[in-house]
């Protein structure tokens, strides 16, 4: 097997909590590993506070991890350098959640695209304008001359997000980290942005990490899916497999909460009400889990591989034995 495009191994991040002199730290991300191949879309799903955006910021090198390694094309990028090199920035780009905040209101669309082109030497002063126009056309903003002159406030949310995608594309990256790129957009605009992302993987072989809380979009877009809960990966695998037969109780809970179908509000949620705090050593989901027993509160479940490419971190797996026993009553 060849080296993956982007490979994160056991990434952790903690932040200090409490006052000036406090030594206490809270764990946001606990030994998360993931790989991203060329031309692949990997979805990262989970509730707010699960560590999705923390992981995105680590991979975009906006923050530094406390532990773990990060390899881009086989090279360890964390070793030796404290801040990300320009070369890394040239290969890994990010699209932010809120297109109303990610474009600077005082600069034109053209400025937003010229900067990465110049900074990474992807264009010379002579062909700068034509490159900017080509980028705008590639994300479907035509006529490009008119869009290039506009300011962000003169664009709709969907158009802004296309500019943000164009900015990420300007450096001709290998990896794009898309942090909930459609959650702030109107539904009729969402689809266009999602299709744009999918087109990029097909045409240019870019690998995309798609962060979302919307399982339905993840199902349509992603090849593989990672489910994050309280800073840990609880289930990972091919999207079709994970969503057709979710094995972790939290994945099952997430799926049953997606508004889909007329009787969605009439099916009960597979969750325990009145959840207490997460146990310090056991599984973080145990207080809410309808199947939890004593060992869930005492020991951290190991990673089980019920099938190739399918990872589940749950004690239920070890009692199940045979891997095809996926139908957990919900």
Query: 299 CB contacts (<8 Å, ≥6 apart)?
Result: 281, 282, 315
Nearer to another protein, 66 or 98 (CB): 98
Decide if residue 189 touches another protein (CB under 8 A): yes
Which parts of 143-182 interact with another protein (CB under 8 A)? 157, 164, 167, 171
| Under rule CB under 8 A, residue 213 binds another protein | yes
Query: Residue 327, interface with another protein (CB under 8 A)?
Result: no
Q: Which of 1, 24, 79, 265 binds another protein (CB under 8 A)?
A: 265
Question: Nearest approach, Cβ of 218 to another protein (angstroms)?
Answer: 9
Question: Binding of another protein at residue 305 (CB under 8 A)?
Answer: no
Tell whether residue 6 is a contact of another protein (CB under 8 A).
Answer: no
Q: Which two tokens stand for residue 233?
A: 């990966």
Whole-number minimum distance, CB 65 to another protein, in Å? 16
Q: Which is nearer to another protein, 220 or 238 (CB)?
A: 220
Report residue 69 as tokens.
């390694």
Q: Is 190 in the site for another protein (CB under 8 A)?
A: yes
Minimum separation from the CB atom of position 44 to another protein (A): 15
Contact window for another protein (CB under 8 A) among 72-80, 211-219, 297-305, 317-325: 211-219
Record the tokens describing residue 131, joined without a space: 């490159």
165 close to 95: Cβ distance less than 8 angstroms? yes
| Per-residue contact string for residues 72-91; x = within reach of another protein by CB under 8 A | --------------x--xx-
Distance of alpha carbon 283 from alpha carbon 299, whole angstroms:
7
Cis amide leading into 15 (omega within 30): no
Total interface residues for another protein by CB under 8 A: 66
Q: Which of 73, 140, 290, 323 binds another protein (CB under 8 A)?
A: 140
Interaction between residue 26 and another protein (CB under 8 A): no
Residue for token pair 């099916």: 267
Sign of the CA dihedral with 217 first, then 221, 225, and 230 last: negative
Nearest to 230 by CA among 288, 274, 177: 288
Least distance to another protein from the beta carbon of 140, Å? Answer: 3
Establish if 119 lies at the interface with another protein (CB under 8 A): yes
Which residue stretch of 125-133, 229-237, 260-268, 291-299 sits at the interface with another protein (rule: CB under 8 A)?
260-268
Q: Does 241 bind another protein (CB under 8 A)?
A: no
Contact between 319 and 313 (Cβ < 8 Å)? no
- 233, 301 in Cβ contact below 8 A? no
Please give the Cα distance from 222 to 41 (Å, whole number).
5
> CA-CA distances (angstroms) from residue 242 to 135, 161, 208, 256?
36, 29, 19, 13
Contact between 33 and 6 (Cβ < 8 Å): no
> Of 201, 242, 235, which Cα lies nearest the Cα of 218?
242
Helical ranges in 97-150 per DSSP H: 109-119, 128-138, 144-149
Cβ proximity to another protein: between 24 and 187 the closer is 187
Positions that interact with another protein (CB under 8 A): 47-48, 57, 60-62, 86, 89-90, 93-94, 96-98, 101-107, 115-116, 119-120, 139-140, 157, 164, 167, 171, 186-192, 194-196, 198-199, 213, 215-217, 219-220, 243, 253-265, 269, 271, 273
């Amino acid at each position: 097997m060849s080296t993956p495009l982007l490979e994160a191994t056991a990434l952790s991040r903690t932040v200090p909590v409490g006052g000036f002199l406090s030594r206490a730290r809270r764990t946001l991300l606990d030994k998360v590993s993931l790989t991203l191949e060329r031309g692949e879309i990997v979805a990262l799903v989970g509730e707010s506070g699960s560590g999705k955006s923390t992981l995105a910021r680590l991979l975009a090198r906006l923050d530094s991890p406390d532990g773990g390694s990060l390899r881009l094309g086989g090279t360890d990028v964390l070793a030796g350098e404290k801040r990300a090199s320009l070369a890394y920035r040239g290969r890994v780009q990010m699209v932010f959640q809120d297109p109303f905040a990610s474009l600077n209101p005082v600069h034109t669309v053209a400025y937003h695209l010229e900067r990465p082109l110049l900074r990474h030497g992807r264009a010379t002063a002579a062909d700068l304008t034509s490159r900017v126009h080509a980028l705008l056309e590639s994300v479907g903003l035509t006529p490009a001359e008119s869009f290039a002159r506009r300011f962000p406030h003169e664009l709709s949310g969907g158009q802004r997000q296309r500019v943000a995608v164009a900015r990420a594309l300007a450096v001709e990256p290998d990896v794009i980290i898309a942090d909930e790129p459609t959650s702030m957009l109107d539904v009729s605009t969402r689809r266009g942005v999602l299709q744009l992302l999918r087109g990029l993987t097909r045409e240019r072989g870019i690998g995309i990490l798609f962060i979302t809380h919307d399982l339905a979009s993840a199902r349509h877009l992603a090849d593989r899916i990672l489910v994050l809960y309280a800073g840990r990966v609880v289930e990972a695998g091919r999207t079709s497999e994970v969503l057709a037969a979710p094995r972790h109780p939290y994945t099952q809970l997430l799926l049953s909460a997606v508004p889909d179908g007329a009787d969605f509000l009439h099916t009960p949620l597979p969750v325990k009400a009145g959840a207490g705090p997460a146990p310090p050593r056991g599984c973080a989901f145990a207080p809410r889990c309808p199947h939890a027993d004593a060992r869930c509160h005492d020991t951290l479940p190991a990673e089980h591989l019920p099938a190739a490419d399918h990872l589940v971190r749950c004690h239920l797996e070890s009692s199940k034995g045979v891997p095809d026993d996926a139908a957990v009553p919900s």
